[in-house]
Structure 1
Amino acid sequence: MLQTPASRGVVDPSRFSSQSPGRLIPASGGLSAFVPHPLPPHDWELSQEIWPLLNEATNRLFLLEGIGRTLPNPLMLLGPLIRRESILSSRIEGTYATPRQLLLFELHPVEPRDHNDPESDWEEVANYVEAFRYSLESQLPLSLRLIRDWHRILMDGVRGKDRTPGEFRRTQVGIGNPHKPRFVPPPPQEIAECLDRFEKYINSSTPRFPPLIDCFLAHYQFETIHPFLDGNGRVGRLLLSTMIQIKSGLTKPWLHLSGYFDRHRQLYVDRLFAVSAENDWEGWIRLCLQATVSQAGETIERCQNLQGAYRDFLELLKGAKGSIRLAAIVDDLFSSPLVEPRALTRRLNVTYPTAQKDVDRLCELGILEPLPGTEFKTYWSRRVFEIAYAGVEPSPTDLNDTPNPFDSPTPPSAAE
């Protein structure tokens, strides 16, 4: 594997070749900071070897778009996708929450006592979901203003709230150990010019590369500029998903790559550094295209399985002559597979006994079952949950062995 500052433990100027797409300049503490050249790379073109992978990734992406267009309700897929991305993108940075913890936290937000509480992690992940929803509803174009808004929402009330949320940094930062950073991004006096050129690039009307390639180049550039004191990775991956939607002409942000980056975390870090040190755009682009093929394929399968579950549930309701209210509850399960009878009284404008009766009927049909260990009476659709969050949540056996759904596994070590 490529030797990176992550393995050397401190920035080593000798690792940066003469082909590096940037310059090293003195920074505070006697360190060398890296300032990337503006995009696009002036001395790099797509090789013939990369085109087949690009074509496969593009085809997978548009197959996913075609399936997404057929959904009766986009939230059937978007809800789980956004939560998965929020969980996995946060996990890369060492912030850990399971889907079950996140879903229950959304039902009943709890103010963390301090930043060591598990609730603090859940709130951070929930903020990521809110930032994504803001992106879907915002009329703002791709811009520095939108990026600052994402950051402000992401940092609201959590660790990092005292680190100028929504503002670009005015001090030097290093990535890794504060005393021996493995990478030092541009000094604060360089940030404004770097970001101005970055904003112009992502809004260019005459791109030199295909849309996916442009998005991956921009993701590298944003992470290398590292414009905030905290939260750069999560904001950068949110920007990546949004750019892929806009640049590729998708109706919704169907594609998210954090699942692949999380599984190949060290390679993700290595490839980012290899661009800066050795001008290895090819390795970085190949990794991102492989991530696209993998994640698009997984999402297509997940979407088809969710559609199958939806059809089966409707058949159950039809056979049981279910009411319109039962159909409404089933529809909502694909946005969030957790149901509280008391919440249904407001959602359906019915009394609590009526809401409980509807839930009991869905339990009889095998669509819902009680969720143990919750403060308020809660039910879940196991089938929807397992399809939507496969690979993110502990196995069903583990869940049954753990009566308290708020139990949190030990988080993996952070990559950044």
Structure 2
Amino acid sequence: MPWSPEVPFNELPPLPPQGLDLEPKPVLKATVEARTALATLAQAGQLLPNPNILIHAVPLLEAQASSEIENIVTTADELFKHADSGGGDHATKEALRYRSALFAGVGSIRERPLTAATAARICSELQGRDMAVRAVPGTRIANPTTRQIVYAPPEGADLIREKLSAWERFIHAEDDLDPLVRMAVAHYQFEAIHPFHDGNGRTGRVINILMLIEAGLLQEPILYLSRAIIARKNDYYRLLRAVTAENAWIDWILYMLDIVRESATSTTRKIAAIRTCQEDIAERARVATPGGRDAQFLAVLFEQPYCRINTVADRCDVSRQTASTWLHALVEARLLSDVKVGRELLFVNHDFLDVLTRPE
């Protein structure tokens, strides 16, 4: 039976696609380029005095961008402002849950292999409630502008579980397929299965990062894929659909490999900009306040662009009064500014915030 966008795709084939070479020469070339960019990123990350900079900042940027793909729009500034409190408007809270889901996923694969249960845990964190596979029929995916139905995922909880089990087996298959190609193919399949009532897109993009960590291509979730996807969002959805309608796997794989290469290169440039900013502020802070000679204090200033007095006091093992004095001295020197958020006084490292949020 030919595929129809309005009919549940219960015949979604298992992976790998039969009779197709997933690694022709163009894919092999793109894979080498993406792997080289990832290796360069890993080396650049090791040059940062404090690797927590990336571990804290990049997941928030990824949260903002991945949520925006699903039309959950907030700003990186709002996310950093409310990163520790979990506050903000509805969209900000939604995006912050993406970061929680990413960290939950990373913690999970440190203990056991990636499975459908991992996906359910990630989706539950994203949605703020327990998420099980879809049991109610009638799910249809429509063009947000025209409202025309473009895809109907498989239906029936048992069938969805079967397809997820096959997806798991493909993820962990012992063959020669490159992990980057496996990630691209598995991402399509997960989105095509569309196992949950909501949150599938964001769950699938978290899984991309987990697969790269599990394969040893990343050590921490410091790759920022979603900004590149946003820049080519129409291609993302067009190529996903082309796999379903035309079996156009190679175009899809090449797209995802290019997203990885582009994202790794961009993040490497961002690391260089962070290092330059960090060195400049450290030099000026040493003159402005005795705290500027405290390595831990400087590290705290560059873990997140919004800093709290209690954070400095705890991390630097100084009194609250000393922490306040250090931070206010940097405000006087115009290295930081202070802003009231609710009842709390936050100190903003604007130069660092600018480096994090501008395109590289």
Unmatched runs of 5 consecutive residues or more in structure 1: 1-12, 17-23, 111-117, 393-416
Q: Deviations over 1:57-94 (max 9, x none)?
A: 11111111121233332221122210111111111001
More helix by share: 2
For 1:414, the equivalent position in structure 2 comes to: none
Q: Equivalent residue for 1:73? A: 50
Q: Within 2, Cα distance between the matches of 1:329 and 1:349?
A: 10
The structural deviation recorded for 1:279 is: 0.7
Instruction: Look up the SS of the partner of 2:224 in the other structure.
Output: coil
Contact 1:325 1:348 in 2 (8 A): no
Using a 3 Å threshold, how does the CA distance of structure 1 residues 143 and 325 change in structure 2: closer, same or farther? Answer: farther
Which letter does structure 2 place at the counterpart of 1:238? V
Find 2:19's aligned residue among 43, 49, 57.
43
Residues 378 and 256 of structure 1: CA distance in aligned 2, closer, same or farther (over 3 Å): closer
Closer, same or farther: CA 380–274 of 1 in aligned 2, 3 Å? same
Number of residue pairs the alignment of both structures matches? 353
101, 112, 116: which one pairs with 1:144? Answer: 116
Match in the other structure for 1:19: none
Identify if the C-alpha distance between structure 1 residues 376 and 254 changes in structure 2 by more than 3 Å, giving closer, same or farther: closer
Q: Work out the CA distance in 1 between the residues paired with 2:207 and 2:236.
A: 17
Secondary structure of the residue that 1:377 maps to in structure 2? strand
Question: What secondary structure does 1:182 align onto?
Answer: strand
Matched, 1:155 2:154: no
- What TM-score do you get using the length of structure 1 for normalisation? 0.78
Contact 2:296 2:315 in 1 (8 A): no
Q: Does structure 2 conserve the Cα–Cα contact (< 8 Å) formed by 1:128 and 1:154?
A: yes
The one of 273, 277, 280 equivalent to 1:309 is 277
Deviation at 1:135, TM superposition (A): 2.5
Residue 31 of structure 1 is matched in structure 2 by: 7
Q: Distance in 1 between matches of 2:293 and 2:160?
A: 54
| SS of corresponding position for 2:198 | coil
Q: Does the CA-based 8 Å contact 1:176-1:182 persist in structure 2?
A: yes
Corresponding residue number in structure 1 for 2:197 = 229
Distance 1:250 1:83 in 2: 17
For 1:124, the equivalent position in structure 2 comes to 94
Choose from 276, 290, 294 the match for 2:262: 294
Which runs of 5 or more residues in structure 2 are unaligned? Answer: none
Equivalent position SS for 1:131:
helix
CA distance in 1, matches of 2:359, 2:268: 15
| CA distance in structure 2 between the aligned counterparts of 1:32 and 1:261, rounded to whole angstroms | 27
**1:171 partner amino acid:** V
Residue aligned with 1:378, SS: strand
Aligned twin of 1:169: 134
Amino acid paired to 1:168: V
When residues 323 and 372 of structure 1 are mapped into structure 2, their CA distance, relative to the original with a 3 A threshold, is closer
Write the distance in 1 (CA, Å) between the matches of 2:103 and 2:320. Answer: 30
Counterpart in 2 of 1:109?
A: 86
Q: 1:200 maps to which residue?
A: 169
TM-aligned CA deviation for residue 204 of structure 1: 1.7
- Give the counterpart of 2:69 among 89, 92, 104: 92
**Structure 2-normalised TM-score?**
0.89
Give, in angstroms, the shift of residue 346 of structure 1: 4.7
Residue 332 of structure 1, aligned match among 300, 323, 326: 300
With over 3 angstroms needed to count, the CA separation of the structure-2 counterparts of 1:327 and 1:371, relative to structure 1, is farther
Displacement of 1:325 in angstroms is: 8.0
